[in-house]
Each structure stands twice: as structure tokens, then as C-alpha cells.
Structure 1
Amino acid sequence: MYKIDRRTFVTAASAAALFSSSRVGAAEKKYDDGVSDTEIKIGHTCPYSGPASSYGVIGKAHQAYWKAVNDRGGINGRKINFISYDDGYSPPKTVEMVRKLVEEDKVLCIFNALGTAPNTAIRKYLNAKKVPHLYVGSGWSGWGDPKHFPWTIGYQPDFQTEAAIYAKHIMATIKDAKIGILMQNDDFGKDYFEGFKKALGNKSDQIVQTVTYESTDPTVDSQIIQLKASGANVLFSITIPKFTAQAIRKAADIGWKPVHYIDVWGTSVATAMKPAGFENCQGIITSQYLMDPSDHKWDGDADMKAWREFMAQYMPGANTADMSYPSTYSVDYLMEQTLKRCGDDLTRANLMKQATSFQDFKVPLLIPGITVSTSDTDFYPIQALQLARFQGESWEQFGSVIHADNS
């Protein structure tokens, strides 16, 4: 049925033209798997259980965001069917769940699946199937490889760029640095380490000890003891929140007070710093690309106010100090805009085209001066960060925004 606004006078000729143009518009609709006139299916995996279960809130935050979108009428009249499965942060399980999403649920794309190793395990499969693997929930530098993996694109600043910023800050501010590194023994840890060592250049011999842990380990206590014994006066922790908290606590317990740097993924106030004890976290350094809700300087920001209203309505009772929530909100917004730009051409090829066509695009909750830019040769949407230091019970930014090209 074609509805005509009663306030507009329509002649028989113009009504016929309207009917004709509507038929043409309908004929121009292009859909791939997961799309109909009323629905868009999006696939996702997340560790709701297992060693990285603290990230399970990310999946719940996605669900809340897409519910809000649907409550507003969806995207171009289509409701979002967000299908999220638990992969336990286990790559074999991720492969199983993603195959189910693609082959049984028939989703249009995989969006913001979490974790470096889980996403590495599904990348070849999704690219062979030509299924968009969008805004990956990991900063591994390998996501920006359009030549070999044209269907996979990252989102956050990549690990190597972030690590290079820490390395250069250490060289500029700490005399006679002796660096100890605690790293997760997978692509997540190795990518950070490679970027860090590369940035140190001929000063890489300042790394006096590197110790690893497995994501399934119960604690990192023995690793921290090893690092103190090495004589290190600087610690770079490449850790997820559970192990960040353990490392900070153990260092305090044994009286070790290195200058401590932590990767952005391990710095949640709610799930890392608070469990570690705020008194043990003072002066720790990280970097940020998002506004931190625990930093009161953002209280008057319009985007922060809108986010808090969203959280109050769709995630009441959630811990708003957990950076997983603003991170998820920002990438969901980008995905929503990507789908909107597709219009009625909801093919996988067009979805990928739109995802790689943003220029200096402002996304809510990104720190001022940081925007999203992509192209068919640039699959790194965000390439800037700002250093932050833990003070009191929150992170406080210092210095200026640092872009990848000058990190």
C-alpha cells in the first residue's frame, strides 16, 4: 500500500508517477543473506563464560543498544536481529559459533566479535565466504590488511601503535629504564610486544625480562615475582582486566613500585583498578581514545549525557565505571551509521564499501580530536590516542592527542 500525505494535492498524473517511482525503488532493493524488508541479522560472539568472562558485559551492552535502535523504529524501517553466542574466549568454539551464525542463522555479517585469538581463528573462513567481518573487537594490527583480507576491518587503535606510544614515553621520561614485560601468550600479547620493541629501536636492550602467562592461568603472581627479581624499574603489563588487577595487587604485596604502564584493554576502573585497590593504582599510565565516565571533566559533554540517559533506560544498575560500556556504545553507533548508509542496497559488498568510506567521522564518546577515517586501502578506523594517568579513583588524561603517524 502506498500512503499519500493528505495535506498534499495529488493529480492523477502525479499519483501515477509516484506509483511508478515507488515500484522502481522497490525493484532497486538488493539483499544478501540476513536481510528482508523488515529485518537485518547481525552475528556476534563474546566470552560470556571462561577466563575472559568479564568481557561478557560487552555482549549485553550490544543487545541493549540494538534494542534501543529497534525501539526507535530500526534502521530504514528494518529491525535489527542481533544474534550473540558465547565462545568462552576459545578459538575453536568461536569457529563453531561463527559457522553456525553464517551457515544456519544466515547473518549478513559478523560484528565486533571479541578477542584477538578468536578473531584470528575465523578471519580466513569469513574472507573465503565473503562475509563482512566488521569492527573487530581487538586492536591487533593484522586487522588492517585489505590486500589479503578485504572483508575484515578493525575499529580501535592498533596494539603496535599504542605500544609505540608507551615506549617513546618511557625513553623520554625515565632515565636508565630497566623494563620488565608481562604479556599474554597469544597474538594479543605478541603484537603489543612487537610494536613496543620496534619503537625502542637500539634501546631494546633496556628490556631486562619478559614473562608470559596463559589466559587460562589462575594467577600471575609468580610472573610478578620474577619481574621484580630481574631488577626492572618499569613494568609494561599486556593484560586483560583480571590479570591487570592481580599484577597490581601482587606488586604492592611484595613492595615493588615500578613505573607501571598498562594496555588500554586492561584498564577498566570497575574490573581492573578497583579490584586491585585504588591505593595500589596511583600513577599508573595508560592511553585512551574514549571519554572515561569516571573522569568528571566529561560530565557536561552532550554525548556523555546522552550515553548516561541510554544506560539509565536500557542498562539500569550496570556499573558505568566499566569502560566496556562506552566502548561498545561507540562501535555500535558506527555500525548503525554504516547500515544506514547502505540504504536499500543491503548486500555484503555494499556493507563493506560503506564501512570503508568514512572520513573524519565523529563518533559519540571519542575523545575530542579523535575521529573515524577509512578507505579501501585504510582499514584502521581510529589511529589516535591520549596518555592518561590514574589519580584517585579515575584516569586523568595528560598531554595532547597523539596520532599514529607521529607516535
Structure 2
Amino acid sequence: MFRLRTMICLAIAGLFAATSGSASAQKKYDVGATDTEIKIGNIIPYSGPLSAYGVIGKAEAAYFNMVNAEGGINGRKINFISYDDAYSPPKTVEQARKLVESDEVLLIFSALGTPTNAAIQKYMNIKKVPHLFISSGASKWDDPEHYPWTMGWQPNYQSEARIYAKYILKEKPNAKIAVLYQNDDSGNDYLKGFKDGLGPQAASMIIAQESFETSEPTIDSHIVKLKSLNADVLVNFGTPKFAAQSIKKMGEIGWKPLHLLTNVSTSIGSVIKPAGFENSQDIISATFLKDVTDPQWANDPGMKRFFDFLTKYYPDANRTDWSVLNGYSLAQTLTYVLKNCGDDLTRANIMKQAASMKDVELDGLLPGIKMSTDKSDFAPIQQLQLMRFKGEAWERFGDVLSARRETKPTN
């Protein structure tokens, strides 16, 4: 009897050990993840020439505060560590190394800027740390063959610019075009896409290409110069601060060309209102996010959740600033991926889940626009809709257009 009882006890103990071992084996962690925490790094310009984008980081921090208040992701709280790089690539490198090597984050998320992220792309891939959902539309983020740990988020700049080119060819085929762009990777990306979109006509239609440095305090002189050339179309690839300056100066000097503006600078709160509603009439741009100022979304479930979030977790936000919804949407994307990781919070699985999205909808995306990725396509959002500024709001027109990348980067 004693022998039988002992054997039963040993069998039960063995079964318990096997079950416990199986349960623990299901949990897989890399540095930056535990049973209770997921450590996320972020780099954004809270100061410097692109400090207007700092609200993206603030919105993301607020979103993760909401996630934590609601129990976290699969029971784990988010530890969101966000550093300022002042839009300076050397500073970005310093902050990335600090996040990866000192703070030991699981991943770096939503770092902002093209030259800044370009400065850390090789480092992140050598370290095999996810460099996820970059706040930049450069085409180089969609290169899984060479950079399998880097992924963008928004439609890429070249694709967006091709859409503007096609619009001009259709609506103003004899245009005399002036292009204003930043003298950096993002500006050059826009310029290339725009010329590609115009095709053979680019050489005759573009009468001026004016670049500026982000270190310039004002670009008024560039606007005056372009007006003097008698261009009847301005394609403006400036970031928010410089977009607002250009719109305001155009109003002051009475220059009224057909004005196309990049979608990163369409915020009513940080660009249009400061530049003046009267100066902004009939500007053309494109978008993939809902306009928070548009009353048509008053009863939209997704926007109701967004506004409830602002009321409770980010009450000081400028609700008319496009960047706030942008940050919310980025954080919602990462939350979706991390939830799908379950208890396998390894860096490799994070990239696997990020590259396995299929028709994912977000609260802030326009109807018909969904996120999809696969192992050969690291571009989650590839659709846009044209819009025109009228009165005090943007009015969308036409169909949702594909901004799918036509070629893959080779560098």
C-alpha cells in the first residue's frame, strides 16, 4: 500500500512538474520584457526645428497610460521611455544607444524623422532590435531584404508625391511648377517621387526647385523668390513650421498659385490656423486619417473612442492638431502587434507579428483604408485620399487611391 501511494504521489508530482514546465516554456522573453512589464523606447524632437511633432510622443505616452490603466497588454504594463533628439542625427544615435544598451528596451517605436532614423537604421539591424513604425514616410523603411528589423507606418513620400504629380497632369497639364523642399532625405524622397510621377514632362513643367535647411529661422525669402519666377503651381514639401510660414507669406505678398501641400503638414491646429484660414483656401493635399475637426465624424465609434481618450488621458491636447490623432494611431498599432505576440515577447516574434497584419482597421483611419503587411512588404498603410481646404476644414474628394510602392529600395 505504501509503495502504491508513493508511486501515485510521484506520478502526480511528475505531472505537475511537466505541466508547470510546459506553462513556463510558453513564455518567451527577450531583454525588455517580463511577466509584468514591456519596455518601449521612443525618440522624438521635443525641441529644435521640428518640435511641433513633439505632441506625437505626448499622445503616445498618454495612450500607453490608458493601456496600463485598463490592465496593460496581456497583463503586462507598458514602460514608455521617450527621449528628445532635437531632430539632430548625432543626438538620435546617442539616444538609441542609451535606450538599447542602458535602458535595455525591447524595441524602439515611432522614432521621428528621415535623417534621424537613417542614422540609426544599421545599428538597430546589427543589434537585431525592432525599429518599428517609424514616423517618416521615407521609402527606405520598406526594405525587409536588407533591413529586416526596420518598418515604417505611413504612406511613403515618393508614392504620395506621385499622386500629386498625377493630379497636376490631369488638372493643369500646362503648369509652370515650383517645388519647395527640405534639403534632407525626406525632401529628396518627395522630389524624386514627384518627378517620377510627372515622367517626361518633369523637365519642362518644373521651372524651379528651391531647397531650404531646417536650421533656417524663416523661409520667407524662398517664397518671394519663387513668386518672382511666375510659377502658377507650388508643390510644398515642407514640414509644419515651414509650411505655416510659407502659407502666411504667400498671403502677405498676394501669391495665389495652385498650392499642393504634403500631408504631414495639414494640421489645422499647428499649420493652417497659425498661417490664417484666409491664406489657406483651396490648398490641395492627401490624407489617410480622419479630420478631427470634421463634424461628419461626430457619431463615428472610432472617433468617439479617440475623444474619450483625450478627455480622460490627454485633456491638454490641442484637439485640432493632426499629430495628436497620428500619435494615438501609432500607439494603437503597436498595441495591436504586442497583443498578438501573446506570451512570446521575443524581438523576432514582434517582427513576425508586425509583418503579418491583414486588413487591420484603426479608430483614426479613413473608411476603406486598412493596414496590411507581409514578410516582403513592410509598408502598413498604402492608401490616400485627396482633399481641398475650404472655409475652416478639409474636404475630401475623389476615390481612395493606392500609394503602393512601385519599386523596392536597393541600398
TM-score (norm 2): 0.94
What is the deviation of 1:23? 3.9
Number of residue-to-residue matches in the alignment = 395
Alpha-carbon displacement from aligned partner over 1:185-240 (angstroms, at most 9, x marks no partner): 00010000000000100110200001111111011111001111111100011111
Shift of 1:362: 1.2
Matched, 1:138 2:136: yes
Deviation at 1:40, TM superposition (A): 0.6
1:313 maps to 312
Cα distance in 1 between the residues matched to 2:115 and 2:268 = 24
Unmatched tracts of structure 1, length 5 or more: 1-12
Letter of the structure 2 residue corresponding to residue 391 of structure 1? K
Cα deviations across residues 141-183 of structure 1 (Å, max 9, x unaligned)?
1100011111000000000110000000011011420100110
- Report the alpha carbon displacement of residue 27 of structure 1 after superposing the two structures with TM: 2.3
The separation in 2 between residues aligned to 1:14 and 1:181, in whole angstroms, is 76
User: Counterpart of 1:155 in 2: which secondary structure?
Assistant: coil
- 1:255 and 1:100 map into 2 onto residues whose CA distance is 49
1:14 and 1:75, CA in 2 relative to 1: closer, same or farther beyond 3 A? farther
Relative to structure 1, the CA distance from residue 16 to residue 395 in structure 2 (aligned partners, 3 Å threshold; closer, same or farther) is farther
In the alignment, the residues of structure 1 paired with residue 316 and residue 374 of structure 2 have an alpha-carbon distance, to the nearest angstrom, of 39
Letter in 1 for 2:382: Q
Q: Determine helix, strand or coil for the equivalent of 2:375.
A: coil
Matched, 1:279 2:287: no
Q: Distance in 2 between matches of 1:106 and 1:335?
A: 18
Cross-structure match for 1:113: 111
Distance 1:235 1:141 in 2: 23
Distance 2:160 2:236 in 1: 13
Is structure 2 residue 322 aligned with structure 1 residue 323? yes
Runs of 4+ in 1 over 6 A off after TM superposition: 13-19
Q: What pairs with 1:214-363 in structure 2 (closer than 5 Å)?
A: 214-363=213-362
Tell me, what secondary structure is at the counterpart of 1:201?
Answer: helix
Work out the CA distance in 1 between the residues paired with 2:372 and 2:44: 26
C-alpha distance in 1 between matches for 2:362 and 2:190? 25
Q: C-alpha distance in 1, partners of 2:393/2:246? A: 18
Partner of 1:185: 183
Deviation at 1:15, TM superposition (A): 11
Match of 1:396 in 2: 395
SS where residue 45 of structure 1 aligns? Answer: strand
**How far is 1:20 from its partner?**
4.9
In the alignment, which residue of structure 2 is the partner of 1:150? Answer: 148
CA distance in 2, matches of 1:376, 1:65: 28
CA contact (8 A) 2:302 2:362 kept: no
2-structure distance, mates of 1:46, 1:166? 28
- Residue deviations 1:56-78, cap 9 Å, x none? 11111111000000001111111
CA contact (8 A) 2:60 2:330 kept: no
Distance 2:227 2:374 in 1: 45
- 1:14 deviates by 10
Three-state SS of the structure 2 residue aligned to 1:304 is helix
Residues of 1 paired with 2:390 and 2:143: CA distance? 38
- 2: distance between equivalents of 1:40 and 1:162? 34
Distance 1:302 1:15, change over 3 A: farther
Task: Name the amino acid aligned to 2:374.
Answer: S
Deviations 1:257-306 (A, max 9, x none): 00000001111111110010001001001000000101111111100011
Residues 305 and 363, structure 2, Cα contact 8 Å, conserved in 1: no
The residue that corresponds to 1:368 in the other structure is: 367
TM-score w.r.t. length of structure 1: 0.94
- Once residues 71 and 46 of structure 2 are traced to their aligned partners in structure 1, the CA distance between those partners, rounded to angstroms, is 28
From 41, 47, 50, the counterpart of 2:39: 41
Change (3 A) 1:215 1:278: same
**Distance change (3 Å), C-alpha of 1:15 and 1:238:** farther
| Cα distance in 1 between the residues matched to 2:404 and 2:67 | 36
The whole-number CA distance in structure 2 between the counterparts of 1:79 and 1:292 is 31
Tell me the SS of whatever aligns to 2:75: coil
1:404 shift after superposition: 2.4
Match of 1:9 in 2: none
Q: Deviations over 1:41-63 (max 9, x none)?
A: 00000111111111111111111
Give the drift of 1:329: 1.1
- Identical-residue share of aligned pairs (%): 54
**Structure 2, unpaired ranges of 5+:** 1-10, 407-411
